[in-house]
Structure 1
Amino acid sequence: MKKHILFICLLATVAATAQVDRTKAPKPAPAREIKIGAYQTFTLKNGLQVFVVENHKLPRIQFSLQLKNDPIYQGDKEGYVEMAGTLIGTGTKTRTKAQLDEEVDFIGANLSTSSDGIFASSLSKHSTKLLELMTDVLYNPAFSPEEMEKLKTQTLSGLAASKDNPSSIASTVRRALVYGKQHPYGLSTSEKSVGSITLDDCKNYYNTYFKPNNAYLAIVGDIDFKTAKSLVEKYFAKWTPGEVKNPTYALPKEPAKTYVALVDRAASVQSVINIGYPVELKPGTPDVIKARVTNQILGGGFSARLNQNLREKNGFTYGANSALNSDNLIGNFNASASVRNEVTDSAVFEFLSELKRMVNEPVTEQELIAAKAEISGAFGRSLENPSTIAGFALNTARYNLPKDYYNNYVKAIDAVTLADVQATAKKYIRPENAHIVVVGKGADVADKLKKFGEVKYFDIYGESYVPTKASALPADLTAEKVIAKYIEAIGGDKKVKEVKSLKVVYKGNAMGTELVLSLQQKAPAKSIKEISGNGMTFSKSVSDGKKAFVEAMGQKPPVDAKLQEVLIFDGSLFKETAYVGLGAKASLKGIETIDSKETYVVEFTMAQGEKMSEYYDKQTGLKTQTVQTVKGPQGDMLITLKYDNYKDVNGVRIPHTLSQSQGPMNLKFEASSVEVNPVIDDTVFKVQ
């Protein structure tokens, strides 16, 4: 019977299909009505606005306290607001951080703080205890000097890592140029600003802005309105209100004409491209929904124009996208991608071409239908999370939206027309008035980028400068002479030859986990390098001078002849003295300015063709970094290892600070022990 039913259904489908005119796109179904869960609200006498979203599917509860004020301009103390938010959660006047963490863990809860407020969640049966802890943090932050110093150290460590991350650099420079450094959005935390932050700065932020009349409280989960109101009155009614002034700022303006802001990173094999400018687009205004649809077509997803052009058609990148954002102070447009150096100018050309096409040509009906479907689908899926409803309630209050704004959201999306999209593009897409930020190798890309406007140079903090022309290589200088100067700089040929083995232990930190980098080497090319933490070995490479293997998280991937050669070469005790015996060749490639210092670049080419570049300070002769390009699933990846803080150990200068950047990962290590000529048994270097 089932087969007969299936056959009948199939016939009906075929018959219906035969009558469809396939030369015309099918008309989209009318927007379905979205039913958004209800929320209830009340306001305490002290001004705290409370929103309650009941959801009894799971016995869980969450409390989210959010401040209302706009961002604060922090000037030369940029970063203190974020520090204040973190410090609030590092202990109270009656509980140390350890005690607070223990009590939170005991009830299986989460409790976090930020400059925007406090978030807490747990099983609903622990609501009372959770609020006790949450309000202790709210009313009685300890602002411990010791925790402040820890936080500063962590912040500086993160900044050190971000200095070598091209995407972080591009973001910093883009914000500085799009908003200007007199606007809160234009500033970025720096080592200098961290050094100027005091504990009083953090206390003043807390005392000024953590007021009930400057806050919303969203309660979501397994609780009824009556109980929620009773708990809020018990724990938050005593919170004292106070005057909170919202600052105003001059509106940033787009540049008079498009230009290129180049951040020169001499070792880069890829360029990070950000094209952006400010736009006056406030939440809740009629253009917001039209802008959402317009950007979805341009760069809002995989099937959007930018990605289809730069990735699918041209193969320049693994992903290109754009965003047209609304904001209560000032919105912005940004389009971005990471591309190979050799196609940087071509990628910028395609970006600008797509922006111009968006302005000058109507989009197709198919593109509009697809964009609406993607947006509506994502909106519908977001409603599965009850926190979304609380977010809608907060936005409605914060931006004075119509009460039915989100109930009618899908209908508003569906009402956007082809004419609306082009009108919105003409208003907000400005290829002629954009900052084109490129973080890449200036020697490879600068001249080719001039066709898009003046090329201006900026450092990693967004400060402009006029580049100085690199010195010409002396006619008689060779790679061998650069290497000889390096050997002399670290102790001289005699001392270096006396070193038969070396053992160094470095310590670092990654996301709160202490890492140990252990390095053992024995002349000429035996080595073992191991990174571990929390009792686990994350990675290990071993070379016996003839064979090598690598291990990552307990797994041993296959090692081909080329990689084996690289591991042996890179693990050699002093590769500058060992390279000839290992069959490698050295060539002097030029002079590059790295971190404001001129360096000689020597390229070592191994017998199998793999290459590794070493950089030597022109003045001191010391090696400053090693750069290698490796192939990964997302294309070529640059691995940079920087050497600093050289110290004399038994007559030989050894770098005591190592900084490694590999894609988005950045690690910094400090030497905790260094042994020259220790006894190391050869069995340590056994390759299995």
Structure 2
Amino acid sequence: MKKLITLVALCAFTGVYGQIDRSVRPIAAAAPIINIKNSEVFKLSNGITVILSENHKLPRVSFSLTMGASPMIEGSKAGTNKLMGQLLTSGTIKRSKDVLDKEVDNMGASLDADGGSVYFSCLTKHMETGLDIMQDVAMNPAFPQSEFDRIKKQNESGLLAAKSDPNAMASNAEMKTDFPNQPMGEVMDEASLAAITIDDVKNNYKKVFTPNGAYLVIVGDIDKENAMKLAEKYFGAWKGGTVYKEDFGSGLKANGNRVIFVNKPGAVQSVISVTFPIEMKPGASDQIALNVMNSILGGGSFGARLMQNLREDKAYTYGCYSSFEVTRNGSWFGTSGSFRNDVTDSAITQILSEISRISDSYVTNDELNLAKSAMAGGFARSLEKPQTIARFALNIIRENLPADYYQTYLKRLEAISKDDVLMVAQKFFKNGLNIIVVGNEDILPKLKPFDSDGIIEKLDPFGNPVKEMKKADITADQLIERYINTVTQTTSAKDLASKMKKVKTVVKKIELSSPQIPVTISMTDVFVAPNKEAMKIEAQGMVFQSSFYDGVKGSEMNMQSGKKAMTAEKLAAKKKGEGLFPEIAYKTSGMKYEIKGIETINGKDYYVLVTNNGEKESFDYFDAVTNLKFKTISIVKQDDDVIESTIMFDDYKAVNGFLFAHKLTQTAGEQSLSGVVKSIEFNGEYDKKMFE
């Protein structure tokens, strides 16, 4: 009992006289040197460097084959290497795509490829079968024409979606602006995709996929002896040409601040990016200090300066971040954030202010310590993955880093001071910022003060220079008349009225397909003169979207929200766009419309007609030569959100004396639907239940 009392008394004594003085920051312990097990490295006779990181915790092994070629200038065929990478897993000389997919699935394995690498992961017991597949994909791709056509079609849909994605548009503008005339700055667009042939893909493969300068990274449940034997067995006999190498430099830094604008009609928010290229290779002496500085400025933490200023203090946005991307082919700084139109200029002012502040004065001790702690924690967590160790070994070899670069990382991180942070901010944040804004052209006047010469550069969604829209040489009414005369194949108002009077019903059957949906979808579109219309979309006997309008009332149904009657506002909007060809009644229906001018797209001129029915704003593009409608961009505003969709029209054919597009492509966000008109029937029977 005495012993117990003595211990309690001792604790009390210590509590009174031995308390820590919390007003004094404890002295930090020396940063530890990380004990990272070195990967095994050896070379095959044909030049492939093999990097092995053993990990026997799980019976799995992965193989990553990375080519040593530099990116190439693709010019008018930008995107060739991307297509080549997508086609690698589409079949080999001895395995069709179906056979390849089945073999991989049966093993529960993973197979992936891109324009410079092939990756395979499987259970250890399937290792040799997996290597046979991986070798076949890397060394014997067949590039079948049918798969090339399919991949090309998928990319066409992706490009359509990108044209309505403000973040993708901003990213394209960043790369084009920071890295002009360099591989990093090449962006695939509709024209370059159309120009790419299967022979271009095959030639690109021959230049990129060669064992010379390639790396095979092996991670998992395999020892060195077996790794050496299997690497030599499956890849040692591979022959290839000289690896392509070229250094295109570090991008183009502007002399003064530039404003680059990408128009997104009807946008209620602006995407803002302040960006510029930096001259830095992975492992450079300034890189860690640069990352610490970026973490404080806006590198992902909720407490970073950009987030605290623009979200917490000003309430301009839900999030604003910054990043420094350091790669072997080009490095750059960039911000990202979406802001309301009315605060676009204010947001730019605050971003530039934070860039200036971190360049003009020291960061605080708390900011510095928090940033370094977060980075140290992230580094430590990454070491739990065996792939990290192998990646470290690959980086050391490829980037010619010191052998102990990663072992001493925490020590170098801990040594970063406020002076180092200020030094890199002053070194890199100099005049010459590219201020990229994707948004509504109504904000343009507010952007001029940020440009050093007051001239705003305009780019399209893929980062190409935009020619100013030419003034239209006809009126909106003349444009509509030309279009109506063309699609109805009439020459006068009297002839038109007589022809339309004979139309009682029109039933269209359309077959829809989408990369996101594995089944064929059917669409039935019914018009009943003079102003009734109904539509239903179904797949496998199930209707998942429908609507009808009879000139007085209407309803809409989808599987998510169920059936809803059209509101008075919706009915009023529909009233302004009634008819088989709604443009016929624009003048009398109350539709607001005006001609904006002539826009050149891929070398062809299109008249742009803007309409507004009170519910949505639409931009109709009419071919200046054929008078046919080329596409329609529709914008619907819902609260603070904007829903944008695009419909492309192609393959016009005559049916019963009228011209109809027989190919349709609709995109909304990342969703894309392609439609082929299977039949159009005039004055026949239709399902009257569609109007109930």
Native 8 Å contact 1:470 1:598 kept in 2: no
1:47 matches 2:54 = no
Native 8 Å contact 1:630 1:638 kept in 2: yes
Q: Which amino acid aligns with 2:514?
A: N
Q: Which residue does the alignment assign to 1:449?
A: 447
Q: Which residue does the alignment assign to 1:94?
A: 94
Distance 1:569 1:258 in 2: 49
Q: How far 1:86 moved relative to its partner?
A: 3.2
Distance 2:233 2:257 in 1: 57
| CA deviation profile, 1:649-681 (whole Å, cap 9, x unmatched) | 324443434343433444443433333444222
Q: 1:600 to 1:237 in 2, by over 3 A?
A: closer
Native 8 Å contact 2:316 2:343 kept in 1: yes
| CA deviation profile, 1:34-54 (whole Å, cap 9, x unmatched) | 454553222222222112222
Q: How far 1:399 moved relative to its partner?
A: 0.8
Q: 1:484 to 1:241 in 2, by over 3 A?
A: closer
Q: How far 1:124 moved relative to its partner?
A: 1.0
Q: Secondary structure at the match of 1:363?
A: coil
Q: How far 1:282 moved relative to its partner?
A: 0.9
Q: Which residue does the alignment assign to 1:3?
A: none
1:298 matches 2:297 = yes
Q: How far 1:76 moved relative to its partner?
A: 2.9
Q: Which residue does the alignment assign to 2:689?
A: 683
| CA root-mean-square deviation | 3.9
Q: Secondary structure at the match of 2:297?
A: helix
Distance 1:543 1:49 in 2: 65
Q: How far 1:685 moved relative to its partner?
A: 4.3
1:671 matches 2:677 = yes
Q: Which residue does the alignment assign to 1:510?
A: 515
Q: Which residue does the alignment assign to 2:465?
A: 464
Q: How far 1:177 moved relative to its partner?
A: 1.8
Distance 1:100 1:305 in 2: 50
Q: 1:38 to 1:194 in 2, by over 3 A?
A: same
Distance 1:503 1:29 in 2: 76
Q: 1:488 to 1:241 in 2, by over 3 A?
A: closer
Q: How far 1:355 moved relative to its partner?
A: 1.5
Native 8 Å contact 1:495 1:651 kept in 2: no
Distance 1:193 1:482 in 2: 31
Q: Which amino acid aligns with 2:210?
A: K
Q: 1:621 to 1:269 in 2, by over 3 A?
A: farther
Distance 2:190 2:280 in 1: 33
Distance 1:363 1:585 in 2: 60
Distance 1:28 1:527 in 2: 73
Distance 2:516 2:95 in 1: 24
Q: How far 1:386 moved relative to its partner?
A: 2.0
Q: 1:231 to 1:449 in 2, by over 3 A?
A: same
Q: Which moved more, 1:414-423 or 1:367-376?
A: 367-376
Q: Secondary structure at the match of 1:233?
A: helix
1:542 matches 2:547 = yes
Native 8 Å contact 1:549 1:564 kept in 2: no
Native 8 Å contact 1:48 1:214 kept in 2: yes
Q: Which residue does the alignment assign to 1:356?
A: 356
Q: Which residue does the alignment assign to 1:71?
A: 71
Superposed, 1:381-460 pairs within 5 Å as 381-430=381-430, 432-442=431-441, 444-453=442-451, 454-460=455-461
Native 8 Å contact 1:572 1:578 kept in 2: no
| CA deviation profile, 1:326-356 (whole Å, cap 9, x unmatched) | 2224311112223333332222222222221
Native 8 Å contact 1:521 1:572 kept in 2: no
Native 8 Å contact 1:548 1:568 kept in 2: no
5+ residue gaps, structure 1: 1-6
Distance 2:517 2:523 in 1: 19
The share of aligned pairs that are identical, in percent, is 33
Distance 1:305 1:269 in 2: 25
Q: How far 1:119 moved relative to its partner?
A: 0.8
Q: How far 1:126 moved relative to its partner?
A: 0.4
Q: 1:410 to 1:600 in 2, by over 3 A?
A: same
Native 8 Å contact 2:164 2:644 kept in 1: no
| CA deviation profile, 1:195-228 (whole Å, cap 9, x unmatched) | 4434444333333443333111111122222222
Q: How far 1:109 moved relative to its partner?
A: 1.9
| CA deviation profile, 1:582-631 (whole Å, cap 9, x unmatched) | x98533466366655343322112xxxx4454647496485942523243
Q: 1:246 to 1:514 in 2, by over 3 A?
A: farther
Q: Which residue does the alignment assign to 1:551?
A: 558
1:604 matches 2:633 = no
TM-score (norm 2): 0.84
Q: Secondary structure at the match of 1:371?
A: helix
Q: How far 1:495 moved relative to its partner?
A: 4.3
Q: How far 1:451 moved relative to its partner?
A: 0.6
Distance 1:13 1:626 in 2: 75
Native 8 Å contact 1:547 1:568 kept in 2: no
Q: 1:105 to 1:349 in 2, by over 3 A?
A: same
Q: Which moved more, 1:230-239 or 1:542-551?
A: 542-551
Native 8 Å contact 2:554 2:565 kept in 1: no
Q: Alignment partner for residue 637 of structure 1, among 632, 642, 646?
A: 642
Distance 1:618 1:428 in 2: 47
Native 8 Å contact 2:508 2:677 kept in 1: no
Distance 1:157 1:299 in 2: 34
Q: How far 1:572 moved relative to its partner?
A: 6.2
Q: Secondary structure at the match of 2:562?
A: coil
Q: 1:571 to 1:244 in 2, by over 3 A?
A: same
Q: How far 1:489 moved relative to its partner?
A: 5.4
Distance 2:85 2:622 in 1: 42
Distance 2:124 2:45 in 1: 26
Q: Which moved more, 1:255-264 or 1:187-196?
A: 187-196
Q: Which amino acid aligns with 2:678?
A: S
Q: 1:32 to 1:165 in 2, by over 3 A?
A: same
1:230 matches 2:204 = no
Distance 1:262 1:397 in 2: 41
Distance 1:392 1:671 in 2: 54
Q: How far 1:450 moved relative to its partner?
A: 0.6
Q: 1:144 to 1:586 in 2, by over 3 A?
A: closer
Q: 1:419 to 1:673 in 2, by over 3 A?
A: farther
Q: Which residue does the alignment assign to 2:4?
A: none
Q: Secondary structure at the match of 1:326?
A: strand
Q: Which residue does the alignment assign to 1:374?
A: 374
Q: Which residue does the alignment assign to 2:58?
A: 58
| CA deviation profile, 1:289-348 (whole Å, cap 9, x unmatched) | 111111111121133222333333333333322221222243111122233333322222
Q: Which residue does the alignment assign to 2:191?
A: 192
Q: Which amino acid aligns with 1:587?
A: K
Native 8 Å contact 2:66 2:214 kept in 1: yes
TM-score (norm 1): 0.84
Native 8 Å contact 2:60 2:221 kept in 1: yes
Q: Which residue does the alignment assign to 2:3?
A: none
Q: How far 1:279 moved relative to its partner?
A: 0.8
Q: 1:472 to 1:425 in 2, by over 3 A?
A: farther
Q: Which residue does the alignment assign to 2:535?
A: 528
Q: Which amino acid aligns with 1:447?
A: P
Q: Which amino acid aligns with 1:600?
A: L
Distance 1:621 1:159 in 2: 22
| CA deviation profile, 1:396-455 (whole Å, cap 9, x unmatched) | 11112222222232332222211111111111123x20222223232x022111111121
Q: Which amino acid aligns with 1:50?
A: V
5+ residue gaps, structure 2: 1-7, 489-495
